[in-house]
Amino acid sequence: MDPLIKSAKEGDHLAFAMLFKENYPFLVKYLMKITMNPDMAEELAQETMAKCIQKIHLFNGQSKFSTWLISIATNAYIDQCRKQKRENKWKGQEEVYRKLKWHFESRNEEWNDALEALGKLPVDVRVPIVLKHYYGYSYDEIGAWMKISSGTVKSRVHNGILAVRRELKLGEETEGRHTRQRTTK
Amino acid sequence: MKKQKVVILDNEQQNKHDLDAIHKVQEGLSKVDQFPVYTPDLQWFESMVRNEKENSRKKLRKELSLFLIIALFILSGIIVSFYQLPVVFIVIQIITPVFIAYYTISSFSRKVKINE
């Protein structure tokens, strides 16, 4: 096990601080991708670190520390979404990606339609797509973090990609031809 | 007249479109990675860790004292009823397990209904 993690487990504040500082940009960027909201990403990163301090005794060192952080962050975000839904504060999927789009525009960066398509997906579909196709985690790992079966993760990723394809109008022509049958002389 | 079916979209084509979509998503997400993220200094992280540990210690102390106060309150109530009002004590002894059994069964059946 990493000596920093060992010291953090023994209660060394400085070791904890160094671990967090090292992983902070990675964590915030991951949260930005799933929340599509830079402010919420920073807020959740702090919540994730707080949970990490409380649960450090559960970290067994079998995976990377960053992977462990991602699993805690994923749960924190899903919990927050559920809470917002319960309190009827859910603003709808339409607004999710607006903040990120605004950040892109303010930095004169070109906005990507695929991000918009991703932002329109429900949270429980967007998160596994990011984890699978951007970070390369396995269906089993994602399923364990989200407390669902790996088969469910697989179908959510598959349906999510289909929805992105539809949104980006990829393969629409051929699909249209497939559904219709044409008669020629 | 010759009837001609248009070539059916095969798996390979489907996969190609899926891969295109995945590639576009990856491209978009990699742009997010290029965003500069402000990382606070080491002292900020250290004080955050210290505060968090202090808060969880306070929370534990608060929860433990609340638990002890409630436990003392319940126990003293039971002891008083045992010596002063034995009938009430017997009624409580009967009602408590019945209530626990009813509550457990009803919450279990609610869970089963939700999962169905």
Residue A128 neighbours by CB under 8 Å, 6+ apart: A142, A146, A153, A156, A157, A160
The answer on A63 and A16 residing in a single domain is yes
The answer on B66 and B94 residing in a single domain is no
The answer on A85 and A7 residing in a single domain is yes
3-state helix, strand, coil in chain A (%, to 5): 75, 0, 25
Question: What pLDDT score does B31 carry?
Answer: 87
**Which residues in chain A are contacts of B41 at CB distance < 8 A?**
21
Q: What is the mean pLDDT of chain A?
A: 84
In 3D space, the residue among A34, A163, A135, A154 whose CA is nearest the CA of residue B18 turns out to be A163
Domain membership of residue A103 (yes or no) is no
B60 close to A (CB below 8 A)? no
Q: What is the number of structural domains in chain B? A: 2
Question: What pLDDT score does B116 carry?
Answer: 56
Domain membership of residue B16 (yes or no) is no
- What whole-number distance in Å separates Cα of residue A24 and Cα of residue A30? 10
Residue A174 has pLDDT above 60, yes or no: no
The answer on B99 and B76 residing in a single domain is no
Domain membership of residue B31 (yes or no) is no
- Contact yes or no for B28 and A32 at CB 8 A: no
Residue A20 has pLDDT above 90, yes or no: yes
Domain membership of residue B112 (yes or no) is yes
Helix and strand numbers (H, E) in chain A are: 10, 0
Q: Nearest CA to CA, how far is A78 from chain B (Å)? A: 19
Nearest by CB to B22, from A53, A161, A180: name it: A161
Domain membership of residue A178 (yes or no) is no
Question: What pLDDT score does A112 carry?
Answer: 77
Domain membership of residue B30 (yes or no) is no
Range of the structural domain that residue B114 is part of: 86-116
Domain membership of residue B68 (yes or no) is yes
Q: What is the number of structural domains in chain A? A: 2
pLDDT digits (tens, 9 = 90+) for A25-77: 999 999 999 998 888 999 999 999 999 999 998 998 888 999 999 999 999 99
Domain membership of residue A104 (yes or no) is no
The answer on B90 and B80 residing in a single domain is no
Question: What pLDDT score does B115 carry?
Answer: 54
Domain membership of residue B12 (yes or no) is no
Averaged pLDDT for residues A103-107:
77
The answer on B69 and B46 residing in a single domain is yes
The last residue of one of the domains, among A90, A105, A135, is A90
Residue type at position B15: N
Q: Residue A165's domain is classified under what CATH number?
A: 1.10.10.10
The answer on B58 and B72 residing in a single domain is yes
Residue A89 has pLDDT above 80, yes or no: no
Residue A157 has pLDDT above 70, yes or no: yes
- What whole-number distance in Å separates Cα of residue B103 and Cα of residue B116? 20
**Which residues in chain A are contacts of B39 at CB distance < 8 A?**
21, 24-25
The answer on A68 and A19 residing in a single domain is yes
**Which residues in chain A are contacts of B33 at CB distance < 8 A?**
29
- What whole-number distance in Å separates Cα of residue A115 and Cα of residue A97? 8
The answer on A157 and A79 residing in a single domain is no
pLDDT digits (tens, 9 = 90+) for A115-149: 888 888 888 999 999 999 999 999 999 999 998 99
Domain membership of residue A48 (yes or no) is yes
Confidence grade of residue A181 (pLDDT, cut at 50, 70, 90): very low
Domain membership of residue B75 (yes or no) is yes
The answer on A82 and A7 residing in a single domain is yes
Interface test with A, best of B1, B42, B46, B49 (most A CBs within 10 A): B49
Domain membership of residue B11 (yes or no) is no
The answer on A81 and A22 residing in a single domain is yes
Q: Nearest CA to CA, how far is A115 from chain B (Å)? A: 6
Range of the structural domain that residue A141 is part of: 114-173
The answer on A121 and A75 residing in a single domain is no
Confidence grade of residue B54 (pLDDT, cut at 50, 70, 90): very high
- Percentage above 90 pLDDT, chain A: 46
Question: What pLDDT score does B107 carry?
Answer: 85
